[in-house]
Chains A and B, each alone.
Chain A
């Protein structure tokens, strides 16, 4: 582990420790936040009891489906927009300001169109994450050095062969960054949507526990989301950094 990594771990562990002391000493009321150690015990019980297995599976399945859709559709849209410069000039300002719009406010439309089910959740999550993938695809294609395109001509490559052997690997670091962002947005989109338009899933279960004053279960589930989000992001980030380092010019 790097020196910075050790400091980071120390800071996080220190904050958790302080939180534990504040909760245990009553400075922070038990009805507001439970101690982190109790959150961990609650999560452990949730996992071994299997009480929320269906919710966990449902949430992560929705996240995976949303990510896959956002990545593939975003990539395809990015390719199309890149190939049509006039269309790009027209819609690029819209893409740039896209995240200024709170996508969740459209949830009534999705309920009307899809009903209260997984499809509405996936639609919101895809809507939230797809633009990150489109933007990354455009950046990736823009950043392919002109000399590599020239090299492809020297090797007498056809356009499809060039796309596969030169363009795709050259754009890969940006595409991966897009995929990483799309996953993160999809996770946010799915869990947040489950709060408002679902009868199952981790988001729904957190809201249900909150409404029933079940702090223990609520914080246990929150901890699960945090652990999954941080672990997945750290894993993707490690691959991302390796790709970036290798492809740095």
Chain B
């Protein structure tokens, strides 16, 4: 990995919403973020701090109010080719079988039939969906449906994968296992990954770097390097450093989370933490 090579970049990005009742809501920024090619970067932050807004802006799904967004050196306007996105909500298409769901993007791109079949078979195998290829999403569990969405992104061979709390709706054990699969996917595809999550352990376990955002308007208040080897899995949770990393993340995040739920006085009491 050429860690110095910048793959995607946000420079001075802010996002301000007009409120329906008048007035403005400063949701995020100014944010500066440089994603290195091939790294696994996670973003944690209190609820409503603008994590998903950051992802939307980076993906070209939302325009920044100010600042610049670049992917592979080019300004982002609309979703650029080479970016794959997995959302928290179930985005599988319920009227299509698992196979057709996974092939959806390739067919849209008029990919050759044999190539489509090859890539879809690979993705189905990779995500453990081979035996469910002809099933419909309604017949699958939440975790399986999220695998379908990941497989649908994977077949397009994205160079940057953006994940917006993809395991948020899953139980703790499934989340750990899905995390392992995500690491395997990251290693095999050599893609850059940006994961938005509210789970500190997930961020600490999966990432090369974890960015901590402040309460709204979200800005990065810390970026933690984990120094995990590229060959890693969920067993890093038993490493002594894992505790130190999550402790540091929580130390920063606790104060911000209290602010976001209106517990400023408690945050002040716990001021020794910061």
Indicate, yes or no, whether A interacts with B. Answer: yes
Kindly list chain B residues whose C-beta atoms are within 8 Å of the C-beta of A148.
91, 93
CB A88 to nearest CB in B, in angstroms, measures: 17
Kindly list chain B residues whose C-beta atoms are within 8 Å of the C-beta of A172.
95
Kindly list chain A residues whose C-beta atoms are within 8 Å of the C-beta of B89.
145-147
CB B132 to nearest CB in A, in angstroms, measures: 15
Q: Give the complex CA separation of A147 and B87 in angstroms.
A: 8
Q: Scan residues 163-204 of chain A and give those whose CB is less than 8 A from a CB of chain B.
A: 166, 169-170, 172
Q: For B95, give the chain A residue with the smallest CB separation.
A: A169
Q: Scan residues 205-249 of chain A and give those whose CB is less than 8 A from a CB of chain B.
A: 245-249
Report whether B93 and A169 are in contact in the complex, using a CB–CB cutoff of 8 Å. yes
Classify the interface of chain A: helix, strand, loop or mixed. Answer: helix
Report whether A154 and B79 are in contact in the complex, using a CB–CB cutoff of 8 Å. yes
Q: Scan residues 89-117 of chain B and give those whose CB is less than 8 A from a CB of chain A.
A: 89-91, 93-95, 104-105, 108
Count A-side interface residues using an 8 Å CB cutoff.
Answer: 20
CB A119 to nearest CB in B, in angstroms, measures: 38
Report whether B138 and A249 are in contact in the complex, using a CB–CB cutoff of 8 Å. yes
Kindly list chain A residues whose C-beta atoms are within 8 Å of the C-beta of B108.
155, 157
Report whether A150 and B95 are in contact in the complex, using a CB–CB cutoff of 8 Å. no
Q: Give the complex CA separation of A172 and B138 in angstroms.
A: 15
Q: Give the complex CA separation of A146 and B90 in angstroms.
A: 10
Report whether B91 and A156 are in contact in the complex, using a CB–CB cutoff of 8 Å. no
Using known A-B contacts A147-B87, A147-B90, A147-B91, determine if residue A156 contacts B79 with beta carbons closer than 8 Å: yes
Q: Tell me if A151 counts as interface (CB < 8 A to partner B).
A: yes
Q: Give the complex CA separation of A218 and B90 in angstroms.
A: 55
CB B147 to nearest CB in A, in angstroms, measures: 16
Q: Tell me if B59 counts as interface (CB < 8 A to partner A).
A: yes
Report whether A150 and B61 are in contact in the complex, using a CB–CB cutoff of 8 Å. yes
Count B-side interface residues using an 8 Å CB cutoff.
Answer: 19
Q: For B152, give the chain A residue with the smallest CB separation.
A: A151
Q: Scan residues 46-103 of chain B and give those whose CB is less than 8 A from a CB of chain A.
A: 59, 61, 78-79, 84-85, 87, 89-91, 93-95
Report whether B94 and A155 are in contact in the complex, using a CB–CB cutoff of 8 Å. no
Kindly list chain A residues whose C-beta atoms are within 8 Å of the C-beta of B137.
249
Using known A-B contacts A154-B85, A156-B79, determine if residue A247 contacts B95 with beta carbons closer than 8 Å: yes
CB B197 to nearest CB in A, in angstroms, measures: 17
Using known A-B contacts A155-B104, A155-B105, determine if residue A150 contacts B91 with beta carbons closer than 8 Å: yes
Q: For A243, give the chain B residue with the smallest CB separation.
A: B95
Kindly list chain A residues whose C-beta atoms are within 8 Å of the C-beta of B61.
150, 153-154
Kindly list chain A residues whose C-beta atoms are within 8 Å of the C-beta of B87.
147, 150-151
Report whether A246 and B138 are in contact in the complex, using a CB–CB cutoff of 8 Å. yes
Report whether A153 and B79 are in contact in the complex, using a CB–CB cutoff of 8 Å. yes
Contact with A along B10-47 (1 / 0, CB 8 A): 00000000000000000000000000000000000000
Q: Tell me if B126 counts as interface (CB < 8 A to partner A).
A: no
A-to-B contact residues, CB < 8 Å:
145-148, 150-151, 153-157, 166, 169-170, 172, 245-249
**Beyond A245-B138, A246-B95, A249-B90, 11 additional pairs, beta carbon < 8 A:** A145-B91, A147-B89, A151-B91, A151-B93, A153-B61, A155-B104, A155-B105, A156-B78, A248-B138, A249-B94, A249-B138
10 contacts across the A-B interface (CB closer than 8 A): A145-B89, A146-B89, A147-B87, A147-B90, A151-B93, A154-B79, A155-B108, A247-B94, A248-B138, A249-B137
B-to-A contact residues, CB < 8 Å:
59, 61, 78-79, 84-85, 87, 89-91, 93-95, 104-105, 108, 136-138
